[in-house]
Amino acid sequence: MGRLRMVVAASLTMAQVRREALADDHCPFPFITTGAALRAVTGPQIRVRSRREVARQRRRRPHSCWDHIIAAPLWPMHGANLGTLLRTCDAVGACLAVPRLPWVPEALARGNTLRRPACVHWTGRDACRWLAEQRSAGSQVVGVELADEAVRLADLPAARTRTIAVLGHEQSGIPPEATGLLDVVVEIPMIGTGASLNVAVAGSLVLYRLAGMI
């Protein structure tokens, strides 16, 4: 019966599903707050936290190099994406690994809107060699790519060991010579007409998942 309800509900609009959730404390969708719990946080009862409250909950200083989750856009194309990833790394406690191309340091400095030092690992220009070294040292290498063997983002577990999230080129993805160095491939589901998300968005989603924060 539960499986049948999930199939039927999949054809409903999100608004319809949420309306059903209001009246049902046993909604089959785990991402929807149900029944009384949902009613308790709707309308005028919602209170947005002030900037001061949020500031008290954040770290007062940048985190040191935890060396646990590393976002690795190893074939960068747009500097703006590196700045966005740098901010996501700060949010989830990750590090950023990038090749020392002539334009990359300036792009990172310009994109670091936090105005604090960030944890950056320089990989050198041979991305595959760097990946092979990291893998040989015991790191798990996760590639964000469209592949038959890919796991869905929702099924990606949080990182239990040192993990490198490899992000490919904006246009061509992860090159063939690097796919053999991946331990896991993760795919971000899409229902639109685009072939993929940009590097910053895709990387941010995967980093939050690896950090166990979503």
Q: What is the pLDDT of residue 89?
A: 94
CA pseudo-torsion sign 3, 9, 11, 14: negative
Distance CA 178, CA 134 (A): 13
Q: Are strands 69-73 and 184-187 parallel, antiparallel or unpaired?
A: unpaired
Residues sharing a CB contact under 8 Å with residue 106, sequence separation 6 or more, in sequence order: 79
Confidence of residue 95 (pLDDT cuts 50, 70, 90): very high
pLDDT of residue 66: 86
Q: Which residue has the higher pLDDT, 206 or 59?
A: 206
Tokens found for residue 46: 């919602």
Q: Give residue 142's pLDDT.
A: 98
Query: Residue 43: which region, alpha, beta or left (left: phi > 0; alpha: psi -120 to 50)?
Result: left
Mean pLDDT, rounded, for 17-44? 47
Q: How many angstroms separate the CA atoms of 196 and 187, rounded?
A: 10
pLDDT at 42: 56
Q: What tokens appear for 139 in the block?
A: 């790191």
Tens of pLDDT, residue by residue over 34-90, are 445 545 555 567 888 888 887 777 667 666 788 999 999 999 998 999 999 999 999
> Residue 23 contacts by C-beta under 8 Å, 6 or more apart in sequence?
35
Per-residue confidence (pLDDT) for residue 46, from 0 to 100: 84
Output the CA torsion 66→90→88→158 (10° steps): 30
Pull the structure tokens for residue 35.
Answer: 């029944």
CA nearest neighbour of 63 among 41, 93, 107: 93
Q: State residue 21 phi and psi, 5-degree precision.
A: -65, -30
User: How confident is the prediction for the chain on average, in pLDDT?
Assistant: 82
* Mean of pLDDT values over 176-199: 93
d(CA 29, CA 27): 6
What was the pLDDT predicted at 62?
A: 65
Tokens of 132: 């092979």
Model pLDDT for residues 147-166, shown as the tens digit of each residue:
988 999 999 999 999 999 99
pLDDT tens-digit profile of 96-141?
999 999 999 999 988 888 767 789 999 998 999 999 999 999 999 9
Residue 16 confidence (pLDDT) above 70? no
Residue 3 has pLDDT above 60, yes or no: no
- By the 8 A CB rule, do 98 and 108 touch? yes
Question: Which of 64, 181, 166, 91 minimizes the C-alpha distance to 123?
Answer: 166
d(CA 93, CA 104): 21
Name residues whose C-beta falls within 8 Å of residue 79's C-beta, 6 or more positions apart in sequence.
103, 104, 106, 107, 108, 110, 111
